[in-house]
Structure 1
Amino acid sequence: MKLYTFEMAPNPRRVGLFVKHKGIDLATETVDLTTKAQFDPAFKAINPRCTVPALQLDDGTVLADVIAICTYLDSLYPDKPLMGTTPLEKAQIAGWCHRLYVEGLMGVADVLRNTGDMFKDRALPGDVLIEQIPALVDRGMKRIDGFYQAMNQEVEGREFLVGDSLSQADIDLYVCLGFTQWVKRDVPDTCPALQGWRASMAERLE
């Protein structure tokens, strides 16, 4: 297997922290998004969606979604399970990962991809040219504010989002909070529970 990645970007980071926590030894290749290497013909032949992470299996099959990659690797390497051990945990973790992607990562992406030259005509991932919509920057900032407040309530008095052990849901929330710093935002002092939770996760994951 080979993992195509760009470690600092949020979706590759979700997988990177998963792999690190489980102690999986994977061959990796960096696809430098800053030079638009995701659009190189060689990588496009591997993942026509031009996104990372992408996990190419030994038979040539490619998994190009974080949840697909993590679910597959969690089944192959069951030690330190991160995708749940019971039907309820599996459902809750999948639900959290979806919620955090939609409410957290996409809120930041609204801001990041709709301003500046780096994402000019690349307002959405992939190979289709999509123009920026400046009005989405303000909406994204409001989404980030709402996300902080909602997550502060969710982690109040809780060590983990699901059950009594670390899961991919925790990794995804931790990555979301780091991603907000890309648009010069950080967890505000009005969210002390979330600040404390993030500090605790940093000790576990970094």
Structure 2
Amino acid sequence: MVFKRRDRQPIWKRMLRALWPKGGWGRAARYVQHRLHRLPDPPERIARGIFAGVFTTFTPFYGLHFVIAGLLALVLRGNVLAALLATFFGNPLTYLPIGMVSLQTGYWLLGVDRDPETHHGLARAFSQAGHDLWENIAALFTRAEADWTGLSIFYQEVFYPYLVGGILPGIITALVCYYLSVPLIRAYQNRRRGILKAKFAALKAKKKQADGGSAAD
């Protein structure tokens, strides 16, 4: 095929790229910031989209963040593309602290006593839950017997506390991002509008000067 990569990357390299993109997460963050600033909507609408995307990263619905952020942006009348871009607030560098804060808050709100050391197995718990879910779904089409015990324990000890606990820190973080984004986006749009206006004025003056020279000839 014409557009197929000639140097096909091994799986470990592609996994590494997912955890650490080319140029680092700092460069990826600057790219997202640049795209957000260039969106044509009013600053408040873009910021509402950012609110939706950032808040969504505090939910335990991994794999559905794009969908949830887009739907929430529609409900809040925010920019959907801004919401999708803002979900990059959740990345391999931030998911662990987000999960720890959400779980600890959930345990506190639910009055559950848990050892903070169990948070370090968060990724493993979600991975195991995904594996169990897949096996139980496959069991519906085979002779294997479905066992929902592990998923039940996961829901009670991890998923539900995460879901409840992520609401408060999610709202607080999303509000901070909202109020920081509005003036920054407005300033960027005003500066860009001024640059475009100056360029248009320069082109208009140049055209006028050219027309004047042609008339004199």
TM-score by length of 1: 0.24
Structure richer in strand, relative to its length: 1
Structure richer in helix, relative to its length: 2
Q: Relative contact order (C-alpha < 8 Å, sep 6+): which is higher?
A: 2
TM-score by length of 2: 0.23
